[in-house]
Structure 1
Amino acid sequence: MLMRAPSECGSWFWDLDDVTAPGLEAALETAARMSAVLRTHELLEPAAVEWNWFEVGTGGLGIHSRLDLAGRGLDDASVAGQVKACRPAGYPAAEMSSFLVVGSGVWIDADGNPHREPRLVELTVSPDPVSSWAELSVHHDVWARCDFRGRPHPSVHDRNAPRLAAALRDLDTLLGVPGEPGEPTYFGKAEGHGLKAPEMIDGLGPDLTDLL
């Protein structure tokens, strides 16, 4: 069973201004194309989209929506229609700033056995007409050189990190802009197309389990 960090171990951000059209339909199409790349690497099989509602001048409304895809593609016309239909009746001016593509992916253990894990990677896309963007984040230690206890696990790293790196390179190619590493967190930092190697003391990395 994998431990999951409450904040990301690494993230990558793509500024899509002047790259994709604004609006929900275009954002869903972008998410569909990105998900297709991630599916090729067995990192994400989309099952639903989730988002929060806000109002300009008010902020977050504390209302969360989820739409199951039920086998449909993210770019299916019915998905955009249903997302819009989820707008809270009491807040006709409510908008979404971004949506999360929810699904599962495959990681490989030290013995080479594949395991399917929910939310192995998280893909977020913004339909904001002012500033469109996409972000990919990871919350597990299988991409890192050490597990969350600080113990090196080269077999796990070598079976998973190259898959993530290949997917990130393919996303850069797909979008036509390079993904920028996100801000570091307690659990790690993105560097290039992978996670930055931890500082080692006596052959061990930092023990991060105090915040898990």
Structure 2
Amino acid sequence: MSMLMRAPRECASWFWDLEDYAPPGLQSALDTAARMSAVLQKYDLLRPSALEWHWAVPGKGSVAKTRLQLLRPLDDEQLARRIEELRPVGFPEAEFSGFLITGLGKWFDERGAQRQEYGLVELTVSSEPLGLSADVAVHHDIWGPFDFRGTPHPEVHQRNAPRLAAALKDLETLLGVIAEPGEPTYFGRAEGYGVGEPEAEGGRGPDLTDQL
């Protein structure tokens, strides 16, 4: 199991309403993202390397998508200025509401070998007029007891799921807010600090490969 299959929708996600944690605004969102990503990096789940976001015009919706390689820390004030400079020239009224932070994360296969995967854990921080919110999402089967084919993989699950659970607990401590589970998808749902166990039949989970 050296290659991971990635689901097009999340297997589980967790949401934090941060209205009472930090004020709205780009610099506040970047500061919060820096603190949250430091927790994820502590467990080798996400080493930030890029930001992605949409520019939206009121009444028109998204007009452009921007991707920026991270050459400085997330909370560096120069990064906030750089983001503002990337506003589409043809849409000076375009607004920035939040960003996706991506990068490499480490996972362990059934033999305990350490591997790296881009987008293993994704962090989104949004800044709306009333305040911030954040979301952590996972798209791979290593966090649950079955792979996407429905085959049990207890060694993989035991080597990876506890790190995700520990990181989510630390994020709750950092933010002072209990995470809310995101909406279930075809590929799974959040349950507590992990991916919920699906109904098994004959010792196997559901085969989800028809939508991969």
TM over 0.5, shorter chain: yes
TM-score (norm 2): 0.97
Matches of 1:98 and 1:185 in 2, distance apart?
A: 23
> Which residues in structure 2 correspond to 1:123-142 (within 5 Å)?
123-142=123-142
Question: Number of residues paired by the alignment?
Answer: 210
Offset of 1:21 from its aligned partner? Answer: 1.3
Could you tell me whether the CA contact under 8 Å between 2:45 and 2:120 is conserved in 1?
A: yes
Matches of 2:186 and 2:57 in 1, distance apart?
A: 31
> Which residues in structure 2 correspond to 1:1-212 (within 5 Å)?
1-61=3-63, 63-70=64-71, 72-212=72-212
Offset of 1:68 from its aligned partner? Answer: 0.9
- String of CA shifts for 1:81-116, please: whole Å, max 9, x gaps: 100100001101101222000111001011111101
Instruction: Give, as a single letter, the amino acid of the residue that structure 2 aligns with 1:195.
Output: V
Unaligned 5+ segments in structure 2 are none
Offset of 1:127 from its aligned partner? Answer: 2.0
Could you tell me whether the CA contact under 8 Å between 2:33 and 2:74 is conserved in 1?
A: yes
- String of CA shifts for 1:160-196, please: whole Å, max 9, x gaps: 0000000000000000001111010000000000011
Could you tell me whether the CA contact under 8 Å between 2:27 and 2:80 is conserved in 1?
A: yes
> Which secondary structure does the structure 2 equivalent of 1:156 belong to?
helix
Offset of 1:131 from its aligned partner? Answer: 3.9
Matches of 1:144 and 1:98 in 2, distance apart?
A: 29
Aligned identity (percent) is 59
> Which secondary structure does the structure 2 equivalent of 1:36 belong to?
helix
Matches of 1:210 and 1:57 in 2, distance apart?
A: 37
Offset of 1:129 from its aligned partner? Answer: 2.4
Offset of 1:130 from its aligned partner? Answer: 2.5
Could you tell me whether the CA contact under 8 Å between 2:143 and 2:161 is conserved in 1?
A: yes
> Which secondary structure does the structure 1 equivalent of 2:13 belong to?
strand
TM-score (norm 1): 0.97
